[in-house]
Amino acid sequence: MIAAAVHWSRRNLFAKPFDTALSLVVIPLCAWVLFASATWVLQEAQWSIIPESIRVLLVGIYPADQVWRAWGALLVFGLLFGATLGCVFFLHRWLAVGYCLIVATFAVAAGYRDTTAALLIVAAAALALGGWFATSQWAAIRRFLVPVWGVGLIAVFALLSPPGIGLWGGLMLSILITVVTAFLSLPIGILLAFGRRSKLASVRMFCTAYIETMRSVPLILVVYCVWIVLPVLAPQYSVPDVLRGMAGFTIFFSAYVAEYVRSGLQAVPKGQVEAARSLGMSGFDVNRYIVLPQALRVIVPPLVGNVLDVFNAAPLVFIIGLTDFLRAGQMVLANPQYSDRTYEIYIFLFVTYFLIGSLITFAARKLELHLAKGSR
């Protein structure tokens, strides 16, 4: 073991004089940074601000007496995400044990301040585990996953709406924007991609103009324009700012999804299309059963990257007055009582964004392997 470590260090860190000099400078510097950071995190940082402000960070200005609705939405999302994981990861025993240990850690941490929160976390985790087990054991259930997601999103909107859609905020709003945009932009992007390849000149020109226009302007401009234009086009309807923001995100990211899908369509061999047509299949059936499934396998990595882009771009909704996760952290710091806790708040935001992004990326890699694209 020691000999292998010495051999690795000699080959990678001290192979040449320049490598040796660089290692002698960088290694002590990294060690000092890690030691100073650990000292601050463990001894100097005042992490009590996180449990004291957790409601604002998670749900923003959502009424305190209606937070149970947010917990209900968490239960629904737990079931949906668990069922989705079952399509990617088979629920092995060791994976279930590790999952339960992580959930138990979060539940114990929450239980010190709020026993009800700990019980709800366990309930959401149990629903996720049940959905995970069901879809990983019975493949027939997976075909209903998309309609179940649609029904689940409708249930979440119905559950959270009574206090007012304009009161949504915090991490809850960022996740809702990401999920709704990802759910709606995929079918719209597929239609735009096929429209750009259409033989009808009018359809092809419209889809091409839409895609190129959206890809040529910044997201913040699209969100702001939708926020301004919708009340002008439909003054008789009062469209909440949250829905206008989601519409802007969907309109913008659908163009990028369309380009990803188009690249996947071009990767499908023409011989397969010609063979399908020679068997008498209609153009719709060829695209549905032959072309689109293969195209979607190819574009899994960019599609997941698009979901990450949506989640990371969610703070842009501040321009239309919404309180996303990052804005909620700034609201906490605006309180004079917590104005000196800047590092603690931003580190918590950073870790949360990092964990969610890492989970999505890890799931995407497993999905790519599951679709047999990463091992061919």
Q: What pLDDT, in 10s, does the model give residues 190-206?
A: 999 989 988 888 889 99
* Integer Rg of the chain from CA: 24
Of 227 and 360, the one with more pLDDT: 227
Question: What average pLDDT does range 31-48 have in this prediction?
Answer: 85
Question: What average pLDDT does range 101-128 have in this prediction?
Answer: 65
List the chain domain ranges: 2-44, 64-162, 170-376
Determine the Cα angle at 344 with ends 338 and 347, to 5°. Answer: 140
The Cα–Cα gap between 176 and 82 comes to 17
Question: Under 8 Å CB-to-CB from 176, ≥6 apart: which residues?
Answer: 156, 168, 242, 246
The Cα–Cα gap between 374 and 307 comes to 20
Query: Which residue's entry shows tokens 């960022």?
Result: 174
Closest CA relative to residue 172, chosen from 328, 306, 361, 53: 328
Instruction: Examine the pLDDT at 134 and tell me if it is beyond 50.
Output: yes
Query: Which residue's entry shows tokens 């990678």?
Result: 12
What Cα–Cα distance (Å) separates residue 19 from each residue in 10, 24, 61, 176? 10, 9, 53, 48
Instruction: Examine the pLDDT at 350 and tell me if it is beyond 80.
Output: yes
Highest mean pLDDT among 161-165, 251-255, 299-303: 251-255
Instruction: Examine the pLDDT at 300 and tell me if it is beyond 50.
Output: yes
Question: What average pLDDT does range 272-289 have in this prediction?
Answer: 79
The reported pLDDT for the residue numbered 362 is 77
Question: What average pLDDT does range 256-269 have in this prediction?
Answer: 87
Lowest mean pLDDT among 22-26, 206-210, 263-267, 323-327: 22-26
Query: Which residue's entry shows tokens 């996953």?
Result: 145
DSSP label of 165: G
Tokens coding 300? 């899994």
Instruction: Examine the pLDDT at 188 and tell me if it is beyond 90.
Output: yes
DSSP label of 324: E
DSSP label of 91: -
What 3-state DSSP class applies to 198?
Answer: coil
The reported pLDDT for the residue numbered 374 is 44
Tens of pLDDT along 143-187? 788 888 888 889 998 999 888 888 888 888 999 999 999 989 999
Instruction: Examine the pLDDT at 43 and tell me if it is beyond 70.
Output: yes
239-245's contacts with Cβ under 8 Å and 24+ in sequence apart are: 240/164, 240/165, 240/166, 241/166, 241/320, 241/321, 241/322, 242/165, 242/166, 242/168, 242/173, 242/176, 242/322, 243/165, 244/320, 245/177, 245/317, 245/320, 245/322
Tens of pLDDT along 79-89? 888 888 777 76
Of 96 and 303, the one with more pLDDT: 303
pTM: 0.84
Q: Under CATH, which number does the domain 170-376 receive? A: 1.10.3720.10
Tokens coding 249? 């995100």
Instruction: Say if CB 258 and CB 185 are below 8 A apart.
Output: no
Query: Which residue's entry shows tokens 């940082």?
Result: 45
Average pLDDT along the chain: 82
The Cα–Cα gap between 295 and 300 comes to 9
Strand positions, DSSP E, the chain: 169, 323-324
Question: What average pLDDT does range 273-278 have in this prediction?
Answer: 80
Q: Classify the C-alpha dihedral 21-23-27-33 as positive or negative.
A: positive
* pLDDT > 70 in the chain, percent: 88
